[in-house]
A and B are shown apart, each in its own frame.
Chain A
């Protein structure tokens, strides 16, 4: 059943609108549905984080006297934040919404597969949320290490199926996106004129296609072991407990770069737009930075297993390879700073988030270095130091990039402008909150407190620091609330947005706001002069 364009002008009825949303195969709407799912996941998992923080605010039981409850919260927090919030927000929402627009395509290569990818993701959310319904909630943390995940009374199957559904969704999405980028670029859009974000998404999906299957196999073997009685992880029958950790991190380390790449890609686009400047040393950023990360990400996974009893030589080897990852990432940072150089920086809300990203990512990335040094990691592994490291890079820096990009795309998606005042207030509250919470965690970890502790009698002297972290978490919650309010305010009361409020040169802003079905009333014609970052140049 097709409706015509005129019918659209005449405001379709509610039923029709609903149908056009849930049965949609349009990449922009699919992107927005991804966004809704990931924000819901962020809210629920964030509330779990608050519960975790309250529980840790005092020694001994605080709001629950059952450690099992805490473990379920933490399981859900970690798994949902990574699988249901961050990866889908970046490779689902952002990539879906932006890539076809940025390359001047009318849609993805396979619009129906795109919808399948979306709905598989939502089914994954449903299975994840069932954690709170079933009597035997999973409590195996987001890493699901056997033999604990096999011995526990918790429902390991739901963990496995969440991973399966999300993973299958990503693979379908990856096939779609890579094909789209390879074959559907607008005429005249050569490889050296692609937005950095498109490049970084391509890199991220190459990683997804190669590594997700390994994770899928790893969790499938868990399922077989626990419910069909095989012996992959049963040492008494010839299995090997370390096998799982290797398979798991073989995916899950690259997964952090699946998060990092689109994050830094969109930051490049935001910074270039608001510094009104070209991207510094474009080829270095693309081939050295993004290419380097893609190439190196697959050979460092042992740094999560420094204390797991792997042979010594491999711990040393992967210490070196891990340290070397700072080279491509450092090149990306230089590209970012170079883009500021001789720019004309406008401090809008998205730009503030991008600036925040630079500082927060520096802290997070540089504290990856001690983790990477095997000898130092023997002490700080599985302490809150590591927790602080990955919250800085992932939970904070990447989330800032996601929030920033939502502000950046807000006019394009909704056709309305958000309020800069509310946006900036939200930013500063968040910035304060995350530093209070997570910097304190570095100290807590440095003093030796292990992670995944419900109670810390052994470390009772850290209670004061834990309190500070808890207060910080509530400030983050407040900030998130302001952010949410600013979006709702923008949707309800925002001024009408022009087609290109940021004066960007990139293709996604050439179409009307919000973009019509099919994106462009005319396929953009790109002159030889044109460049997405062609600022400060006469055309």
Chain B
């Protein structure tokens, strides 16, 4: 009877790692919708935090319990270990391994989903080129306008930056948008973000690049669309003259 029960249990455990990732499956979005990456990040971080906190608390609680329960009562007391049968020994290795694996696969599936959002650039994104150099950012807009350390973008449009570097490796870090990607000489990398509303956001360098690494900062200015278009037009004229 109990053997049968054990067998059923172990078989369902076998499927555990396969089934848990399915829990992470979410409804697909339509192509026009821009996914909310920072929101997704916050959500996933919380979920992950709860997950590891539970694991941590289980382990810590068991430890504390064992530490109190099994302290030595009189000098010379020895432990009284139970002898593990072979089945128990294997079970103690396989069952936890499967449970951990299930949790890992679940987290991996969740992370994968969000990562896809990170890497799939929405259509019609506004594309800006960035070149990093010690210790500033140089932005080149599709209209031919150039700025330093200040990236102006139209609010309400996803923006993709194509990045490279003149000298050493830098990293284009946008804390508010929960994203960063390295920029390096000889390669082009990209990231995208979605400034929903007008406002200012920090850009800061997150890869060690020497003396002024910590001073290598700039800002994103998300402007109302019309303001932005006006600005681009005036800048275009300025650069022609």
Contacts and interface: CB of A to CB of B under 8 A. Distances in A.
Whether the complex brings A and B within 8 Å at their CB atoms is answered yes
Interface of A: 67-68, 71, 139, 141, 145, 147-148, 151-152, 235-236, 239-242, 275-278, 280-281, 283-284, 288, 307-309, 312, 315-316, 319-320, 323-324, 326-327, 330-331, 333-334, 337-338, 340-347, 355, 358-359, 362-363, 366-367, 369-370, 373-376, 378-379, 381-383, 448, 450, 452-458, 535-536
A154 B186 CA distance: 23
A338 B79 contact: no
17 contacts: A145-B208, A235-B184, A242-B184, A276-B72, A327-B97, A334-B96, A337-B59, A340-B63, A341-B81, A344-B70, A355-B67, A363-B56, A378-B118, A382-B180, A383-B206, A450-B206, A455-B214
Contact of B209 (A148, A235, A242): A148
B213 interface: yes
B77 A276 contact: yes
B182 interface: yes
B84 interface: yes
A365 to B, nearest CB: 9
A277 B71 CA distance: 12
B115 to A, nearest CB: 4
B114 A337 contact: no
A382 B207 contact: yes
B217 interface: yes
Contact of A345 (B56, B67, B101, B187): B67
Interface stretch (B137-145, B167-175, B223-231): B167-175
A243 B209 CA distance: 18
B215 interface: yes
A309 B213 CA distance: 20
B63 A358 contact: yes
A376 B205 contact: no
Interface of B: 40-41, 44-45, 48-49, 51-52, 55-56, 59-60, 62-63, 66-67, 70-73, 77-82, 84, 89, 92-93, 96-97, 100-101, 103-105, 107-108, 110-112, 114-115, 117-119, 167-169, 171, 173, 175, 178-182, 184-187, 189, 202, 204-215, 217
B122 to A, nearest CB: 16
Contacts of B211: 67-68, 71
Contacts of B52: 366-367, 369-370
Contact of B204 (A67, A242, A458): A458
B78 A536 contact: yes
A343 B207 contact: no
B44 A375 contact: yes
Contact of B111 (A308, A373, A382): A373
A345 B206 contact: no
A83 B101 CA distance: 33
A334 B58 CA distance: 12
Given A71-B210, A340-B70, A366-B52, 10 more contacts: A139-B210, A147-B167, A148-B210, A241-B184, A277-B78, A307-B171, A309-B181, A331-B97, A337-B59, A344-B71
A306 to B, nearest CB: 9
A515 to B, nearest CB: 26
B133 to A, nearest CB: 11
Contact of A67 (B111, B181, B212): B212
B115 A382 contact: no
A337 B92 CA distance: 12
A148 to B, nearest CB: 4
Contacts of B171: 307, 382
A235 B185 contact: yes
Contacts of A278: 79, 81
